[in-house]
Amino acid sequence: MANDNLLLLIPSLKLGGQERIAVHTAEIMKEIKQVTIAVFDARDMVYETDAEIVDLNIPSSSNKITRVINVFRRVKALRKLKREYKISCTFSFGEPANLANVLSRVHDRVILSVHGYKSVPRRKLSAFAWHFLYHRADKVLCVAKQLSKELTRACRLKVGKVVTVYNPYDVNQIKLMMEETATIEILKPSIVSVGRMEDIKGFRHLLRVTKLACEKKPELQLVLVGDGVILPQLKELARELEIEDRVQFVGFQKNPFAILSKCDCYVLSSIHEGFPNALIEAMACGLPAIAVDCETGPREILGYEKVESVQKAELCEYGVLCPAFRSDTEKEPLKEKILADAIVQLLDDNNTLAAYRIRSELRAKMFSFEQYRERLLEIVF
């Protein structure tokens, strides 16, 4: 039946947060919908799914003219696909997919999703353009409440057009994977962070924070899980700070949860986020969490209720929130010291550590597959 045909549209299935969410959505909805995934480029796929994958074979390009031409090619291909598969609803992930989804509407319900703070337009012209596109969608899903507010305000959208749907996490699968043997030896005490080695993750700050924390806890170890373009720079900074023996760069891990579960505390140092997947996954492993108050996500996850920005370390219901960093390329010694002190104090307080381990697991369950399915059925399908 046409009403059961769901199309998930995403540029690719390469390694990434929104790619993983798209695959999770396919797995979650396949029992009640006929799910098809369309990608612009099927090369270098990392994620596997039982859903049918249609490769439109219109990859991204660095050439401006080609990029414009590709928009028209994708729209044409999608209209054909939607008619052929009798798609009743198309759910897209990320700006390129959102654009193609809106412009290729046939008779389908069009659902867009926004996963990152960078997707909120800052200039009047781009805000006007996205207002036009978002206005034509049936719903725009944001992964955090603050992100929903920012997008609604920036694009002047009607109340109710933008809704918040938190990302889904397979908490049960994470529990199974965390019991596997870690690929590295974890020394104690240890803090860990997971993410792409890019400026946005604030890892330069985290290295300087580790340097400060090691002055009070010389045995402290930092474990960084992930790969990326600035990895060589981060390794060089660790040498300059003379903490290379206290930092383990373990690269991309197929099962990071086996490492996370052996550490003592998770630290998020990002400059900004959409909704930090790695933070929730670490909490599902039972890790106490310390995060900076970046836009957007951490304060919602940790349960910080105040409107004003954090100016000192705050003990929240589900973790510790510290002041946000402005950028990864400038030193911010006061904020780095606040974060370093918060790490040391938490690691020294066994009672608070134990309490946050329990609360972390409870919080992670609120972002389960079941919660995600119920939310989608409530407001989308």
The pTM of the full predicted model, rounded to 2 decimals, is 0.81
CA distances from 174 to 8, 169, 190, 260, 280 (A): 24, 8, 20, 10, 11
Q: Which residue type sits at 277?
A: N
Reading the block at residue 326, the tokens are: 């402005």
How far apart are the C-alpha atoms of 94 and 303, rounded to whole Å?
Answer: 27
Given a cut of 50, the residues of the chain with pLDDT beneath it are: 1-2
Sheet holding 5-10, edge to edge: 52-55, 34-39, 5-10, 89-92, 109-114, 139-142, 162-164
pLDDT score at 1: 40
What pLDDT does 142 receive?
93
Q: What beta strand segments (E) does the chain contain?
A: 5-10, 34-39, 52-55, 89-92, 109-114, 139-142, 162-164, 190-194, 221-225, 247-251, 265-268, 289-292, 314-315, 320-322
Alpha helices in 30-163 (DSSP H): 64-84, 95-103, 124-136, 145-155
- Averaged pLDDT of the chain: 93
CB-based contact 11:40 (threshold 8 Å): yes
The residue among 293, 328, 294, 292 whose CA lies nearest residue 197 is 328
Q: What's the pLDDT score for residue 3?
A: 61
Distance from CA of residue 297 to its chain's centroid?
A: 9
- Which pair of tokens denotes residue 302? 């940790």
Query: If phi over 0 gives left and psi between -120 and 50 gives alpha, with beta otherwise, what is residue 242?
Result: left
Can you name the residues that pair with 38 across neighbouring β-strands?
A: 9, 54
